[in-house]
């Protein structure tokens, strides 16, 4: 067997070799030199120790004592709130210049290519604002419950935080995630193709408990309207069944601390399995009603255009989907040999039951390892071994969930949904590897 088969390549580019916004602009302007630039920049940092080597090679990095072994370290609490290593400074949320037009109405994507496990660090949780974010003063924030309830009520944050709480891990995905790909626009990296996805532990009070306190009329009141306190007047209708299941939370906590301002501090709705737009941030009002409201954010946005010109309204559940995050677009395999293919799978309908991976564009499939924990309506991490023979390859993952639903290919998706959609693209993602090791985004029907 070729000795290279046991060499571990470094798939993840060094931070300085992450794509810059200029690179992205170059891609959008149709210039293709960004990969070459990335390759040139990569050579020194990445071609260095690519694998475990014999000690007799005399690697100076193990033979010489570095400053951190021979001097006093930093004092405790020099960062009262801890920060990532400066060597990780390239791993940040990024905006797509093509999508951000007016100041606040924008999206910043999670760098999925650099994440491990299932939890998104709070500072890297994606952001989607219809009119910018605010750092809301919690002492001035209120939640009102009205409509088909016995007692219209107003809660302070103190009132809410006294109530019995639960903590649950769930993914949140914007309905527009992977939206560019409908038009076969191959955005360069997984950050831009799938980065409107994050997964966190949320803490809060089940909305059902709050509605019970207010004497909600569950017989007539089959819908709720959730309203945010920002200037976008974000309002969404949510079916009462979801609330009655106990899954919908009025949340103040994320990953063990209060929500970050960008993610709705001090209060947001958590609607597990449902598209991000329903997870109303800076939550200020819940109305109980007997029919959907057809507000602007549901009558003209976040609906699916079908091939026959009709549209589906209130598509809410994010169907089963997966993506390989390493290796992925913009990364470079340094050498043939062993690689750990790693990715994320999720379903708005429950647990992921299986992920299959193909390295030949969908001809052969092998089952990937699902890492624990595998939680309902949360991201599941999968891994699978791969020995790259140095020849062109196409990497794909295909997830299935506990309802038996299998993630579709682009051919299947377009047959059902046409080509004019923006939202709810859960097709199988393909990454092409060429002989030079460059990985790029391609579509396979």
Ligand X SMILES: Nc1nc2c(c(=O)[nH]1)N[C@H]1C(S)=C(S)[C@@H](COP(=O)(O)O)O[C@H]1N2
DSSP-derived letter for residue 274 is: B
Among 237, 263, 342, 359, interactor with ligand X by CB under 6 A: 263
What stretches of 372-433 show up as alpha helix (H) in DSSP? 410-417
Please give the size of the binding site for ligand X, defined by CB under 6 A.
20
Among 174, 190, 225, 249, interactor with Mo ion by CB under 5 A: 174
Q: Which letter, b or e, does each residue of 291-307 get, where b requires 16 or more Cβ atoms within 10 Å of its Cβ?
A: ebbebebbeeebbbbee
Question: From CA 294, how far away is CA 16, in angstroms rounded?
Answer: 46
Indicate the residue among 34 and 126 with the shorter CB distance to ligand X.
126
Copy the structure tokens of residue 232: 């976008």
Least separation in angstroms between CB 53 and ligand X: 43
Each as own residue / partner, the long-range contacts of residues 151-155 (CB below 8 Å, 24 or more positions apart, any chain) are 151/214, 151/215, 152/214, 153/213, 153/214, 155/210
Q: How many residues does the chain have?
A: 445
List the interface residues with Mo ion, window 125-144 (CB under 5 A): 128
Is 277 one of the binding residues for Mo ion (CB under 5 A)?
Answer: yes
With CB under 5 A as the contact rule, which of the stretches 89-97, 172-180, 352-360, 398-406 interacts with Mo ion? 172-180
Question: From CA 14, how far away is CA 49, in angstroms rounded?
Answer: 13
Cβ-contact 175, 424 below 8 angstroms: yes
Indicate the residue among 276 and 408 with the shorter CB distance to Mo ion.
276
Is 432 one of the binding residues for ligand X (CB under 6 A)?
Answer: no
Site string for Mo ion, 421-440 (x = CB under 5 A): --------------------
Is 129 one of the binding residues for ligand X (CB under 6 A)?
Answer: yes
Is 265 one of the binding residues for ligand X (CB under 6 A)?
Answer: no
Least separation in angstroms between CB 304 and ligand X: 15
Least separation in angstroms between CB 204 and ligand X: 14
Residue 22 Cα distances to 45, 107, 111, 194, angstroms: 21, 18, 17, 20
Residue number closest to Mo ion, CB atom: 174
Is 106 one of the binding residues for ligand X (CB under 6 A)?
Answer: no
Is 126 one of the binding residues for ligand X (CB under 6 A)?
Answer: yes
129 binds, among ligand X, Mo ion, none (CB under 5 to 8 A by kind): ligand X
With CB under 6 A as the contact rule, which of the stretches 18-26, 280-288, 373-381, 389-397 interacts with ligand X? 280-288
With CB under 6 A as the contact rule, which of the stretches 157-165, 215-223, 279-287, 320-328 interacts with ligand X? 279-287
Indicate the residue among 42 and 254 with the shorter CB distance to Mo ion.
254
Is 13 one of the binding residues for Mo ion (CB under 5 A)?
Answer: no
**Distant-in-sequence, close-in-space partners of 4: CB < 8 Å, separation ≥ 6:** 335, 336, 337
Residue 246 neighbours by CB distance under 10 Å: 12
The closest of 362, 352, 357 to 404, measured between CA atoms, is 352
The residues that touch ligand X, with contacts defined as CB under 6 A, are 125-130, 172, 174, 228, 230, 232, 234, 262-263, 276-277, 279-282
């Amino acid at each position: 067997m070729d000795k290279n088969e046991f060499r571990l390549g470094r798939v993840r580019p060094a931070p300085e070799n992450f794509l810059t916004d200029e690179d992205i602009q170059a891609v959008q302007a149709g210039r293709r030199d960004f990969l070459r630039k990335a390759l040139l920049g990569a050579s020194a940092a990445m071609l260095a120790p690519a694998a475990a080597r014999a000690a007799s090679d005399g690697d100076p990095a193990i033979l010489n004592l570095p400053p951190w072994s021979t001097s006093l370290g930093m004092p405790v609490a020099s960062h009262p709130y801890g920060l990532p290593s400066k060597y990780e400074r390239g791993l940040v949320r990024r905006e797509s210049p093509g999508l951000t037009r007016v100041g606040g109405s924008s999206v910043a994507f999670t760098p999925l290519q650099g994440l491990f496990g299932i939890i998104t660090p709070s500072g890297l949780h994606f952001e989607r604002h219809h009119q910018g974010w605010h750092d809301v003063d919690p002492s001035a924030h209120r939640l009102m419950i009205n409509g088909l309830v016995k007692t219209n009520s107003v809660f302070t944050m103190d009132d809410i935080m006294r109530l019995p709480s639960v903590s649950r891990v769930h993914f949140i995905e914007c309905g527009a995630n992977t939206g560019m790909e409908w038009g076969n626009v191959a955005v360069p990296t997984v950050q831009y193709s799938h980065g409107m996805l994050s997964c966190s532990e949320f803490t809060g009070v089940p909305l059902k408990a709050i509605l019970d306190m207010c004497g909600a009329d569950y017989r007539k009141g089959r819908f709720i309207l959730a309203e945010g306190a920002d200037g976008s007047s974000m309002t969404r209708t949510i079916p009462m069944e979801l609330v009655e299941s106990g899954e919908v939370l009025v949340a103040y906590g994320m990953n063990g601390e209060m929500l970050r301002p960008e993610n709705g501090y001090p209060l947001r709705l958590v609607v597990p399995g449902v598209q991000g737009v329903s997870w109303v941030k800076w939550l200020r009002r819940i109305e109980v009603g007997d029919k959907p409201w057809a507000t602007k954010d549901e009558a003209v946005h976040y609906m699916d255009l079908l091939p026959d010109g009709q549209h589906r309204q209130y598509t809410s559940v994010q169907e089963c989907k997966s993506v390989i995050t390493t290796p992925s677009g913009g990364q470079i395999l340094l050498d043939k040999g062993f690689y750990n293919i790693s990715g994320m799978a999720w379903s708005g309908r429950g647990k992921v039951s299986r992920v299959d991976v193909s390295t030949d564009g969908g001809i052969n499939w092998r089952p990937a390892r699902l890492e624990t924990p595998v939680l309902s309506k949360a991201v599941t991490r999968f891994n699978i071994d791969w020995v790259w023979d140095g020849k062109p390859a196409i990497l794909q993952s295909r997830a299935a969930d506990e309802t038996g639903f299998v993630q579709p290919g682009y051919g299947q998706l377009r047959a059902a949904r046409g080509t004019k959609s923006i939202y709810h693209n859960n097709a199988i993602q393909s990454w092409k590897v060429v002989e030079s090791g460059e990985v790029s985004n391609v579509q396979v029907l």
